Amino acid sequence: MDLFTIVTARADYEQGALVIIDQTQLPGREVYLALKTSEEIWEAIYLLKVRGAPAIGVAAAYGVAVCMQKVAATGFDDFYREFSRVKDYLASSRPTAVNLFTALERLNRALLKHQGVGVEILKQVLREEAEAIRKEDAEACRKIGEHGLSLLKPGMGLLTHCNAGHLAVSEYGTALAPIYLGQEQGFGFSVFVDETRPLLQGARLTAFELQKAGVNVTLICDNMASSVMKQGWVQAVLVGCDRVAANGDTANKIGTSGVAVLAKYYGIPFYVLGPTSTIDMDCPTGKEIKIEERDPAEVTEKWYDRRMAPEGIHVYNPAFDVTPAELITAIITEKGIAYFPFNDTFREWKKNK
Ligand code: MRU
């Protein structure tokens, strides 16, 4: 199966389902799930069956649209009450990626603009808005790839953490977009992929994606990044983002800030790539970003066939960390490239939206 034929999330209105590829089964099995209730959709997001900031936003938007097609409401107020319930419920599935909230808020705004119309039209408004969100994310990927590639040279060694590729968005992804474009243009990159403990998005998903695309890829454990950098094998780090604060502080998968510290030490450019929808101007700095804490079992036993730590051990399992803006060489979006300090460029980008 060609990588780009894998569909991360789509709405099947005939079946009344949100259809996703179950990312927890990759790379071993390519299994699609048809999720028909808001509870199934909430659980799929929480359990990372669909994950990656833009993909969560798209899945939630399609999810709301799918659930609302089945609602037998008599008028706007009735419809809007049920919409708000489903929207707030799905918004509670994961707290860090801002795309989840912006996607749901977009549906909310679209509905509020159509208060005088019938319920069938309201259903159509939701379908169209959800599709627009997916389309805009996909279009952003290619532009992010072009801007990112302009900073890279043929033959470079690159390092990435977690998965910000096709599976996390659609099309080329964000952090992986310059790699896919470079691959098409014969850049011959060598890419080191951090396995990304504890849920192994790097090993299971990024390594799978890049290998399928024919990229020269080497998997490393997270604690090997310093070693490969020291040997001069890495000329740039590319990572995605879950929420970028107005000052450029960036929340991404746990371990990202450690990679940024290493990159600074070794003098390697550290690039964050994502759509402008991931920039949250309501969050002044990284301190205000809520970091998700997850089940200790992900650290002690998940993905292994036996327990990896003593029973009763205390575990700290944050899913994300915040990389301070001053460690980030550039933030690359569909609108262009921003350099530290980021505030003015972000304000400009958001103004022209
Ligand atoms: O917990 P996950 O797998 O959803 O975390 C994903 C990441 O941290 C990605 O790097 C980020 O969402 C960017 S995806 C384009």
Domain boundaries, the chain: 3-141, 147-351
Phi, psi (degrees; rounded to nearest 5) at 301: -150, -20
Residue 164 clears pLDDT 80, i.e. is over it: yes
Quote the mean pLDDT of the chain: 96
What's the rounded Cα separation, in Å, for the pair 84 and 101? Answer: 13
Which CATH code, of 3.40.50.300, 3.40.50.10470, 3.10.20.740, 3.30.70.1560, is assigned to 147-351?
3.40.50.10470
Among 242, 249, 280, 321, the one annotated catalytic: 242
- Select from 146, 44, 64, 60 the least CA-distant residue to 99: 60
SS3 30: coil
**Can you give the pLDDT at residue 352?**
64
Tell me the pLDDT tens digit for each residue of 12-67: 999 999 999 999 999 999 999 999 999 999 999 999 999 999 999 999 999 999 99
Tell me the pLDDT tens digit for each residue of 290-344: 999 999 999 998 777 788 899 999 999 999 999 999 999 999 999 999 999 999 9
**Can you give the pLDDT at residue 347?**
96
**Can you give the pLDDT at residue 306?**
83
- Select from 296, 320, 298 the least CA-distant residue to 98: 320
Residue 1 clears pLDDT 60, i.e. is over it: no
Q: Model confidence at 171, in pLDDT bands (50, 70, 90)? A: confident
Pocket test for ligand 1, best of 162, 259, 302 (most atoms within 8 A of CB): 162
Is 156 touching ligand 1 by the criterion CB < 6 Å? no
CATH class of 3-141: mainly alpha
What's the rounded Cα separation, in Å, for the pair 188 and 91? Answer: 41
Tell me the pLDDT tens digit for each residue of 194-235: 999 999 999 999 999 999 999 999 999 999 999 999 999 999
**Can you give the pLDDT at residue 116?**
86
Residue 170 clears pLDDT 90, i.e. is over it: no
What's the rounded Cα separation, in Å, for the pair 12 and 26? Answer: 22
What's the rounded Cα separation, in Å, for the pair 125 and 69? Answer: 11
Above 0.95 for ipTM, yes or no? yes
Q: Model confidence at 2, in pLDDT bands (50, 70, 90)? A: confident
**Can you give the pLDDT at residue 65?**
98
Sequence-separated (6 or more) residues with CB below 8 Å from residue 296? 315, 317
CA angle 258, 263, 265 (to 5 degrees): 95
242 is catalytic: yes
Tokens found for residue 40 = 């199934």
Residue 79 clears pLDDT 60, i.e. is over it: yes
Is 240 touching ligand 1 by the criterion CB < 6 Å? yes
Tokens found for residue 171 = 């099309």
Tell me the pLDDT tens digit for each residue of 245-274: 999 999 999 999 999 999 999 999 999 999
Going across the sheet that includes 336-339, the strands are 216-220, 190-194, 157-160, 236-239, 270-273, 330-333, 336-339
Residue 146 clears pLDDT 60, i.e. is over it: yes
Pocket test for ligand 1, best of 174, 241, 291, 334 (most atoms within 8 A of CB): 241
